[in-house]
Amino acid sequence: MKQLLDMFDNDTFLNVQQELDSKLSELRSRGDKVNSGLLQLISVYSKITVTQKMISVHIKEASSHGAVSRRQLQQNLEDADRLQMQLHSKVAALEQLQRELEELARENDKLREEYNTKITLDPNTANPRIVLSADNTEISTTDLLRGLQDTPCRFDVVLGVLGTTGFSAGRHYWEVSVSGKNCFHLGMASESAPRKGSLVFKPANGFWTLILNRQGQYKALDGISVTLALVTQPVTLGVLLDYEKGQISFYDADARSRIYSFTGQHFTDKIYPFINFCVEVS
């Protein structure tokens, strides 16, 4: 599980991203029009094939009977040429669209690379059963309790871990790959949120989280748990903290659609990325 952090210290990213989304929407609209022309391409190709067969038949008739309608043969040849030109025109349009889509994809990738930096996880907060990768960006678990010092900042029952960096102002965005996950639990937690014993995850306790449980249900753990009806399972989740606005939002990062927002919050201390490791059942 890898995490990426976007630092939104101004509106540049959002403005450019909206512009790219607009371009993408326009190209997709054009793509739909051109794709609808694929049926016409099939029709044109079929007509060319039929016309060529008709010409072939006329030539055979001319050979066997010594007579053929030159006018009809000429018309068929002209029809074949016209249809062939239409086919080349539509193929050229599809190739141009493909080039534009590839260019837009490169622009989007460049933008995300420019504004994204990896978030690291804080080993000092990790439950003793959690094992972090060497660069503190990936999580796994062990059945054995490691001999780690039990400090006040460490989760002892919940398989939780916080990000290394907390935020007390501004807007901050991070992404988590959940591809192939049967369950997950993640979001944001306040610096003062409890870390000992069994925890109740809700904003009043300093947790703003989204969960996919083992029953396949997506839920926002708000004051009252909210079951979410998602059309497709996200591959990458985005979490956006707007500290001054008092809002934490979750997004399907690939579809660029909002899943849920915790609104009207009053933050008073630092807010950290939070992951509660979910042990998947095979």
* Separation between Cα atoms, residue 207 and residue 219, nearest integer Å: 14
Give the residue among 138, 134, 135 at the shortest CA–CA distance from 161. 138
Query: Tokens 């909206």 appear where?
Result: 18
Torsional sign, CA 263, 138, 276, 270: negative
- My answer on whether 181 and 258 are in the same domain is yes
Question: What is the value of pTM for the model shown?
Answer: 0.63
The reply to whether 74 falls in a domain is: yes
The CATH number of whichever domain residue 199 belongs to comes to 2.60.120.920
The reply to whether 282 falls in a domain is: no
pLDDT at position 256 is: 79
* Separation between Cα atoms, residue 202 and residue 215, nearest integer Å: 20
The reply to whether 65 falls in a domain is: yes
Using only C-alpha atoms, the chain has a radius of gyration, in whole angstroms, of 29
The reply to whether 139 falls in a domain is: yes
- My answer on whether 105 and 124 are in the same domain is no
**Residue where one domain finishes, among candidates 78, 95, 116:** 116
Per-position b or e across 133-161, b if 16+ CB within 10 A of its CB: eeebeebeeeeeeeeeeeeeebbeebbbb
Q: What's the pLDDT tens digit per position in 23-51?
A: 666 666 666 665 665 556 566 556 556 55
Q: What's the pLDDT tens digit per position in 66-89?
A: 445 566 666 666 766 777 777 777
Q: How many domains does the chain have?
A: 2
- My answer on whether 256 and 153 are in the same domain is yes
- My answer on whether 70 and 143 are in the same domain is no
The reply to whether 1 falls in a domain is: no
- pLDDT tops 70 at residue 167: yes
Q: Residue 104's domain spans which residues?
A: 11-116
